[in-house]
Amino acid sequence: MAKNQTGETVQVDESLESALESVDAAEASVLGVAEAVGFPEDELHRIGMAVREAMVNAVVHGNRYSARKKVRLKVLQAPDHIVISVADEGEGFEMHTVPDPLSEENILRHSGRGLLLIQAFMDEVSVAKTEGAGTEIKMVKRLAPAG
């Protein structure tokens, strides 16, 4: 498979339905690649959780379960890291409009912690509006150096 300039190869590039079943499917796809990279069990758990949160954001808040909208999942593999991209076709959002879930006035809110968990579990996280409409969450996780 062709490598890009950072030595990454595309392992997964799929279009998923805006349904909760897609959350499980995406987690399974990503973990298959993450296991091949060699992440230990605890890190696999964190990667899986970050993917689930990103997928829930895309399916529930982005595409609002619309049958006409898809979620695009891309996974790039490199020897020492994995790059995961989850893009929806929703209306998009600005990061600065997301309430801080750690502030005193928001700590007891029912929702709004997904992005916080993604940022805690992954090494790099970026959120961008996609071309046209929608939001892409891109996440990078690096393998800890041996020893």
Partner 1 sequence: MSVKLTTRQVGDVTVIDASGRITLGEGASHFRDTIRELAAKGNKKLLLNLGDVSYIDSSGIGEMVSSFTTVTNGGGSLKLLGLNKRVKDLLQITKLYTVFEAFDDEAAALRSFA
Chain residues binding partner 1 by CB under 8 A are 20, 23, 45, 49, 52-53, 56, 60, 101-102, 107-111, 113-114, 116-117, 120
Q: How far is the CB of 108 from partner 1 (least distance, A)?
A: 6
Nearer to partner 1, 56 or 128 (CB): 56
- Name the DSSP letter for residue 130: P
Ramachandran angles phi, psi of 100, nearest 5°: -70, 115
**Which residue carries 């090494």 as its tokens?**
123
Nearer to partner 1, 11 or 29 (CB): 29
Q: How far is the CB of 102 from partner 1 (least distance, A)?
A: 5
10/78 Cα distance (integer angstroms): 9
Nearer to partner 1, 21 or 80 (CB): 21
Q: How far is the CB of 77 from partner 1 (least distance, A)?
A: 25
Nearer to partner 1, 76 or 139 (CB): 139
Contact 81, 70 (CB under 8 A): no
Q: How far is the CB of 137 from partner 1 (least distance, A)?
A: 14
Q: Which two tokens stand for residue 101?
A: 């879930």
100/13 Cα distance (integer angstroms): 32
| CB atoms closer than 10 angstroms to residue 27 | 17
